Amino acid sequence: MAKRIDAANVTAYYGAFKAIENINITVEPKTVTALIGPSGCGKSTFLRSINRMHEVLPGARVEGSLTIDGQDIYHRDVDVTAVRRTIGMVFQRPNPFPTMSIFENVVAGLRLNGVKKKSILDEAAEKALRSANLWDEVKDRLGKPGAGLSGGQQQRLCIARTIAVEPQVVLMDEPCSALDPISTLAIEDLMFQLKDKFTIIIVTHNMQQAARVSDRTAFFSIEKTGDPGRLIEYDNTQKIFSNPSQKKTEDYITGRFG
């Protein structure tokens, strides 16, 4: 199910501004890859170009090649919505749909893509909520608004919503940065479980988190403001955190920079 992602010379622009330049990364299936680096170095930009969310902004565009199991994500015959269904995304701030109940939030992706049958939706909702470790907390109030949950629960709801459409890759952009430590732990646990089925790429500012959850780590950085972000080092997480080959990586990880 899970797929392998290849990025070759990926460069992304906001209008005339080049935000990232020549990123080359290969992400293996069923692994967790962490993207770390100082603010503004283009981690979110790179993440969003993987599921073609980057181009949603006016003037934004991507160059280079991004493939999923050898299929070009940016090929002109490709259906954007199919790409996004295959590569799901969880955002920094939990963003449940405010007009929908918990249940409707979880099945939103299925329903808005035309699944109508109640039994299928019920089953999918329970499965997704169980995978997101949220089922026991919400099973008695599925009809209540999703916005009424706590921040951590909302984020798990958003994860449930994402995995309910059965993607193969899940992108997470600082999914814990708006959450308390307990909720953060809950989501980290969740990532370990999700790894069995999905390929996960996560942006995080938290080194310990990157070290705890990821198999591979990519370190991004910029020379100075206004320069495009670049990939400095990409290796096994253990190697990056114990014995990085680049001086810059070491400086960042030991807290001397960034």
Partner 1 sequence: MTTTLTSHRPRPPAQPPTLRARRLPKWLPPAVALGALLVAAAIVYGAGIGGPVLVVVVGALLYLVGLFAAANAVEGRRSARNRTWSALIHSAFVLAVLPLASVVWTLVTKGLERFDVNFFLTSMNNIGARDPQGGAYHAIVGTLIQVGIAALITIPIGILCAIYVVEYGRGRFAFAIRFFVDVMTGIPSIVSGLFVLAFWVLVVSPYFSSTGRPGFSGFAAALALSVLMLPTVVRSTEEMLRLVPAPLREGAYALGVPKWKTILRVVLPTALPGIVTGVMLAIARAAGETAPVLLVAGGGAAINFNPFENNQSSLALFVYQQAGDASRYAPARAWTAALTLVALVLVLTVAAKLLARRNRLGR
Ligand X SMILES: Nc1ncnc2c1ncn2[C@@H]1O[C@H](COP(=O)(O)OP(=O)(O)O)[C@@H](O)[C@H]1O
Binding site for partner 1 (CB under 8 A): 51, 53, 56, 58, 81-86, 88-89, 91, 93, 95-101, 108-109, 112-113, 143-145, 148, 158, 161-162, 165
Per CB under 6 A, the segment of 35-43, 113-121, 130-138, 240-248 that binds ligand X is 35-43
Closest listed residue to residue 211, CA positions, set 254, 158, 160, 157: 254
112 interacts with ligand X by CB under 6 A:
no
C-beta separation of 7 from 201 below 8 A: no
C-beta separation of 173 from 89 below 8 A: yes
**CA 222 to CA 224: how far, in whole Å?**
6
Nearest approach in angstroms of CB 81 to partner 1 is: 4
Bridge-based pairing state of the strands 5-14 and 60-68: antiparallel
Size of the site for ligand X (CB under 6 A): 13
Q: How many CB atoms lie within 10 A of CB 126?
A: 16
Q: Which is nearer to partner 1, 80 or 185 (CB)?
A: 80
88 binds, options ligand X, Mg ion, partner 1, none, Cβ within 5 to 8 A by partner type? partner 1
C-beta separation of 33 from 217 below 8 A: yes
Per CB under 6 A, the segment of 13-21, 125-133, 159-167, 237-245 that binds ligand X is 13-21
Per CB under 6 A, the segment of 14-22, 61-69, 73-81, 123-131 that binds ligand X is 14-22
194 binds, options ligand X, partner 1, Mg ion, none, Cβ within 5 to 8 A by partner type? none
**CA 54 to CA 30: how far, in whole Å?**
24
Backbone angles phi, psi at 188, to 5 degrees: -65, -45
Near ligand X in 201-230, by CB under 6 A: 229
According to DSSP, residue 228 is labeled: P
Q: Which is nearer to ligand X, 35 or 128 (CB)?
A: 35
C-beta separation of 62 from 68 below 8 A: no
Site residues (vs ligand X, CB under 6 A): 14, 17, 19, 37, 39-45, 57, 229
